[in-house]
Amino acid sequence: MTEESARLRVKTWVCATIVVLTNVFGDYFLKRGMSAARSIAGPLDYIATLFQPWVACGVVLLLAWQLSRMALLSWADLSYVLPVTSIGYVLVALLGRVLLNERITSVRWAGIVLIMAGVALVSGGTPPQTTYREVVAP
Amino acid sequence: MKWVVLAVMTAATTTGEVLQAMGMRRHGEIRDFRPSALGRALAVVVRNRFVIGGFTAMGVSFFAFLKLLTLTDLSFAVPVSAVTYVAETILARYVLNEHVNGLRWAGALLVICGVVLVSL
């Protein structure tokens, strides 16, 4: 059982890292592309926007995000995945500081500390899976 | 207008993510990560009606988010949409029957407060 839970934990960490990185960079590219195109009036504008390079990159990453998140949810609880993957907000704030020289105010630092404490509580204190799951034969 | 778009977005996100979690749980744990096996798993999963419902709701949420970005700033949209964390944790407990113990509630609450502060 301990070997099984260790296996699940490692697998969860690897998959959660992929989920977080694809989410953070997907949102960043999307935001970058969308701020270049500020006028959306009808459905056709949405479709045209999707073909802008930054937006397209963002969409591809967000697709990878969805797929890796689905894989993660095939074994991990939603109430585990939600708080743990929110470490992405911390990453966004830190990336903004490093790449874009954005200032991190004391309020945002407080938020970063709270998120990290929450992630530590959930990921360190509770197992990824609390309900019985069927195992799909390989 | 922005409140309507925001309400649509949060409701769609919550519904979509809970349906997706429900569908993936029904599918069972993915253990084989070779590309061919992942492709087969994907082919099974896309026919799961919970997953289809989840994707539909998330599509609505995605386009609402794009619209929202043209109406307002991320520093408004993101903290308010942290309300989905509350709704989803409650649904995870009562609909998905996950064992949300004290540590998990405490962690979720810390994260929610933190998300609001970080994105203000």
Asked if A74 lies within 8 A of B63 by C-beta distance, the reply is no
Asked if A121 lies within 8 A of B106 by C-beta distance, the reply is yes
Question: Does A112 lie at the interface with B, CB-CB under 8 angstroms?
Answer: yes
- Name the percent of chain A lying above pLDDT 70: 90
Amino acid at A75: W
Closest CA to B111 of A37, A34, A65, A116: A116
Count contacts between A and B (CB, < 8 Å).
166
Asked if A77 lies within 8 A of B67 by C-beta distance, the reply is no
Asked if B111 lies within 8 A of A38 by C-beta distance, the reply is no
Residue pair B46/B52 in contact by the 8 Å Cβ criterion: yes
- pLDDT attached to residue A138: 46
What separation in angstroms does the CA of A115 have from each of A69, A94, B42, B72, B116? 20, 13, 32, 24, 10
Asked if B24 lies within 8 A of A107 by C-beta distance, the reply is no
Which residues on B lie below 8 Å from A80 (Cβ)? 98, 104
How many Cβ atoms sit within 10 Å of the Cβ of residue B116?
Answer: 18
Question: Does B99 lie at the interface with A, CB-CB under 8 angstroms?
Answer: yes
Asked if A89 lies within 8 A of B104 by C-beta distance, the reply is no
Average pLDDT over residues A44-62: 85
Residue pair B70/B48 in contact by the 8 Å Cβ criterion: no
Highest mean pLDDT among A30-39, A124-133, B88-97: B88-97
**Residue in B37, B107, B120 closest to A122 by CB:** B107
Which residues on B lie below 8 Å from A133 (Cβ)? 25, 28-29
Q: Which residues contact A124 (CB under 8 A, 6 or more apart)?
A: none
The 10s digit of each residue's pLDDT in B24-57 is: 999 989 988 899 999 999 999 999 999 999 999 9
Is residue B80's pLDDT more than 90? no
Closest CA to B110 of A13, A5, A130, A124: A124
Which of the two residues, B76 and A91, has the higher pLDDT score?
A91
Residue pair B33/B67 in contact by the 8 Å Cβ criterion: no
Provide the ipTM.
0.88
- pLDDT attached to residue B105: 93
Report the SS3 class of residue A48: helix
Report how many domains make up chain B: 1
Band of residue A136 on the pLDDT scale cut at 50, 70, 90: low
Alpha helices in chain A (DSSP H): 2-36, 43-50, 53-73, 78-85, 87-100, 106-125
Residue pair B4/B64 in contact by the 8 Å Cβ criterion: no
Domain that holds residue B62: 2-119
Average pLDDT over residues A48-65: 88
Tell me the domain boundaries of chain A.
2-125
DSSP state of A63: H
Residue pair B117/A111 in contact by the 8 Å Cβ criterion: yes
